[in-house]
Structure 1
């Protein structure tokens, strides 16, 4: 789950919990909102941990890259086209 999806779940859960005052038979929207907010917060924490670990494993080459100069020879004829 990405950061955007986590924030979306947090927002929807907060709306269901704090902003709506609707009663639906068999469904407690407050509980659903709290569950969505918990899932969003957990996803945000896991995503943050994943990205912080991924960045710390980046390796940097310490030796410079070797460059070679390529020159075209003009004294050799091109190969025949078949």
Structure 2
């Protein structure tokens, strides 16, 4: 789940909990809204933790290449 999907779930849950006054037989929309908000919050936290642990760094060329322009490469590491 991405950040956009998590925010969508939080918004949809908030709408069902606080803004909608519908009554459907055997369905409590307040509870459904709270469940959607909890799922969105959990997804947001998990996505933030996973993407927060990625690091990107420029790695310099090995020493000894004299006379040429240094070429840097990008590495992405997951911790």
TM-score (norm 1): 0.71
Partner of 2:28: 28
Structure 1 segments, 4+ long, off by >4 Å, are 64-67
Q: Which has the larger radius of gyration?
A: 1
In the superposition, the TM-score normalised over structure 2's length comes to: 0.73
- Aligned counterparts, 1:1-82, within 5 A: 1-55=1-55, 58-64=56-62, 66=65, 67=68
Higher strand share: 2
CA distance in 2, matches of 1:19, 1:59: 46
Where in structure 1 are there 5+ consecutive unaligned residues?
68-82
Partner of 2:74: none
CA distance, structure 2, for counterparts of residue 16 and residue 26 of structure 1: 15
